[in-house]
Amino acid sequence: MAKAAVYKWDDLPKQDFDGGLIRRAGFRQDHGLLVFTWLDPKLTRLAPMRASFDKIILNFDGEQYVEIDGKAHKLTPRSMIRIPANAAHTNWPAGNAGAFAIEVHALDSDLLYLADWQGDFPAKGKPATTKTRAAEPFKGETVKDTTGIVYEWDKLKREGKYENAMMRTAFKSRGSLVTFNYIDPSIKKQPPHKHDFDQIIMIVDGTIRFYLDGFEPCEVGPRAIIRAAGDVLHAGGPENGKHVLNMDVFSPPRPDYVYLADYQGTL
Ligand SMILES: [Fe+2]
């Protein structure tokens, strides 16, 4: 039986941007794109850009400033922000250590070709010309109180499931929903399930035993990603007796879970 395609975030095929100060890798789902983004410590602010779709930036390592329409917001490790469609935005590391984030894009992203290596979808091909952005000093305002704009995912209110063996919350954009599942190793084994849309599963902390119909069951450890296609049975639970934090990404937002992000209001 074939092995399911499990990828470590840090081993994804990366491409250089802006003279190698930004490195990116792509991973696609049916209606969304994840852009893994490494910001070099030497990166300074580059000219803002705009996108026709909402983005989410999930910041994992290091600190970075995310500027939206002239206002800079500091993201610490394990925090996130939504960049509304058409807003002028740019980001750069806040400390001396660089930063690593996962961005959630829509298929309209001009970076869709970064997922061509995946082979699950028709190749987009790299555009003939890609813009190099100029370095420009920041002249805007740094927002001191980012309450209601920047969220630390570990501090969000959670809902209990499976006798509270799983606690969950979510964060949304107009195009996607990211759910955060904090799973205790005591959780009862859940039977495989399926749905007619695809699902990205990312393990942040801990290790799960993952089942995907048609493939050998496998372990998925920290900083790994896997895609369950629509209508394919899948299941996963903690392995090794350790707590798990798993993030799932649904594009478009999964209607039956979107209430978990009601605290963000109407977008
Ligand atoms: Fe699922």
Do 113 and 213 lie in one domain? The reply is no
Domain containing residue 184: CATH number: 2.60.120.10
pLDDT at 127: 84
Do 48 and 162 lie in one domain? The reply is no
Distance from Cα 193 to the centre of ligand 1, integer Å: 6
Query: Does residue 61 contact residue 99 with C-beta atoms inside 8 Å?
Result: yes
Distance from Cα 234 to the centre of ligand 1, integer Å: 7
pLDDT at 132: 81
**Is 132 part of a structural domain of the chain?**
yes
Collect all residues with Cβ–Cβ distance below 8 Å to 209 and sequence separation of at least 6: 217, 218, 219, 236, 237, 238, 239
**Is 2 part of a structural domain of the chain?**
no
Alpha carbon distances (Å) from 174 to 37, 84, 140, 243, 261: 21, 8, 26, 30, 12
pLDDT at 128: 81
pLDDT category at 211 given cuts 50, 70, 90 is very high
Q: What CA–CA distance (Å, rounded) separates 241 from 184?
A: 8
Q: Which of 92, 119, 153 is the last residue of a domain?
A: 153
- For residues 144-168, average pLDDT: 97
Distance from Cα 194 to the centre of ligand 1, integer Å: 6
What are the pLDDT digits (tens) for 157-209?
Answer: 999 999 999 999 999 999 999 999 999 999 999 999 999 999 999 999 999 99
Q: Compute how many other C-beta atoms are within 10 angstroms of the C-beta atom of residue 50.
A: 11
Do 208 and 244 lie in one domain? The reply is yes
User: Quick one: tokens of 45?
Assistant: 């602010």
Distance from Cα 148 to the centre of ligand 1, integer Å: 29
Do 118 and 163 lie in one domain? The reply is no
Do 16 and 101 lie in one domain? The reply is yes
Q: Which of 153, 178, 203 is the last residue of a domain?
A: 153
**Is 5 part of a structural domain of the chain?**
no
The proportion of the chain whose per-residue pLDDT surpasses 90, expressed as a percent, equals 94
What are the pLDDT digits (tens) for 53-112?
Answer: 999 999 999 999 999 999 999 999 999 999 999 999 999 999 889 999 999 999 999 999
Do 147 and 19 lie in one domain? The reply is yes
User: Quick one: tokens of 63?
Assistant: 């600190």
- The total of structural domains in the chain comes to 2
Distance from Cα 4 to the centre of ligand 1, integer Å: 16
Q: Residue 127 is part of which domain span? A: 10-153
Residue 195 bridge partners (DSSP): none
